[in-house]
Chains A and B, each alone.
Chain A
Amino acid sequence: MTAHASTSEAGAAPAGRGFTRALRVLGVLGIVGMGFTVWLGLWVTPPDRTQGDLVRLVYLHPPIAWISLYLAFGIAALSSVLWLWPRTRSRFWDRLAVSAMEVGVVFTALTLFTGSLWGRPTWGVWWAWDARLTATALLLVLQLGYLALRRVPSDPDVRARRAALAAVIAAVDVPIVHFSVNWWRTLHQNATVLNANLSPTIHGAMAWTLLLGFVAMTLVFFWLLLLRYRIEVLAEGAGDAALQVALAERWSEGAPADEPAGPASNREPARSGS
């Protein structure tokens, strides 16, 4: 495994030393930021007048939701389009798209989970057929569909094209879903920070903690995104290396004509490698 990793590291620049350093910096910043958010959110900020301690979920749930609904899916859709555009086509966009989608699906699931935790005490139910909840649930299924399609093994270029097209077809649906479920019903509280006149409806320590939560969560997202990106690069390298090993073993199989023990012992690793 280490042999495969090192060969692909030499071949692909993003897995190099600068990339690793950037990853570490992002990770440390993200984790420290999250630590501060937790400290500020749980101990420093006051409880809310109406929601009490429940309001502390506001430092977690909206940042996660912002990443899943806008950032992750946006990056995935945009890089899919950039892959499809002949002038900007490169493996980079394909890898970035699948990384963003896969990290994004985790954040979408977390959005639903933390929202459910919040909904139970405030609305009295774990789940409500509210516009945003419904749209988020549909987004989760769209993302899972993309990943299922992406997982079907085939030639890398064909797979990239197929996944990019699926992402575009699904991305076009997102605004339509948004409008349709909005007309369908709305129960969720309005956006606190990103409202129409861009004046946050909370103040002081709470606003700063929320801002920190957004920044820290975004850093964590990019950290995970780059980690996932590197896994994609390494997996491709490992696949290529395994193919080379299998090919080499096939070639050597034919060379010694009458050696009954040799080919049998050779065939074993070839089969597991391919």
Chain B
Amino acid sequence: MWRDALLVAGKDLRIELRSRVVLNQVAPFAVLVLVLFAFALGPQRGPMVQAAPGLFWVAVLFAAVLAVQRSTAVESTEGTRDGLRAAGLDPAGVFLGKTGAVALELVVLEAFLTGGVLLFYGVTVHSAGLLVVASLVGTAGLAAVGTLYGALSSGLRVRETLLPLLLLPVAAPVLLAGTRVWQAAFATHATAGDPWLRLLLVFAAVYLALGVVIFGPLQEAS
């Protein structure tokens, strides 16, 4: 399973390195979202600083939709999906590989976004460790559920419009919890972002486990 996961992740990341779609299109889009939010909130620093954690995670959610779409689009041409299945790869491995690739892309993108948040919104980080851990765990969960819905809608002609409708409400807890942990990380006195971090962990664990179990039948449904 792990070997297959590495193979699939390596394949997806190699495609990304050569095409640079996520880096050249999705990452600028996510930063653009931050700028647009700044226009919506007005030039005062107060509301921006307050909203910064939530805006970061909303931008991540939008970017995740695009990254997942890209990740499934890679499979939908030239019968790649059937190729993957015919190659005898473990479905759980395929799931973990695709999730890992999407998660890694998103983490790189989040690094850009964090820079954008610090630069545009003028916030100061007080516990960087909490920030990094929350982002990593939240991204793992987001990539897992995104990969599941991506595979579910991959064969459909309406997938571009259907995927956000399916993915975003399910990912709402990541937005809620991620925002809370980020707020805790920005606060001068260290408040407990603790139940929220645990929620992110549970979310990631549940969807990674669910994906490992159901990805086999899921591949047959597309």
Contact = CB atoms under 8 A, between A and B. Distances in A.
Interface of A: 84, 138, 141-142, 144-145, 148-149, 152, 154, 158, 161-162, 165-166, 168-170, 172-173, 176-177, 179-181, 183-184
A209 to B, nearest CB: 35
Contacts of A176: 173, 199, 202-203, 206
Given A149-B162, A152-B156, A169-B210, A138 B220 contact: no
B211 to A, nearest CB: 9
Interface stretch (B81-89, B103-111, B164-172): B164-172
A173 B158 CA distance: 23
Contacts of B156: 152, 154
Contact of B221 (A138, A148, A165, A177): A165
Nearest to B215: A165
Chain B, interface size category, equals 20 to 34
Contact of A181 (B145, B162, B176): B176
Contact of A173 (B170, B220, B222): B170
A148 B165 contact: yes
B168 to A, nearest CB: 8
A84 B217 contact: yes
Given A165-B218, A180-B176, A172 B206 contact: yes
B172 A138 contact: yes
A152 B153 CA distance: 10
B29 to A, nearest CB: 23
- The 4 A-B residue pairs with the shortest CB-CB distance, nearest first, are A161-B221, A141-B169, A180-B173, A162-B221
A239 to B, nearest CB: 19
Nearest to A135: B172
Interface in B151-183: 152-153, 155-158, 162, 165-166, 169-170, 172-173, 176-177
Given A149-B153, A149-B162, A149-B166, A172 B221 contact: no
Contacts of A180: 172-173, 176-177, 199
Contact of A162 (B152, B158, B173): B152
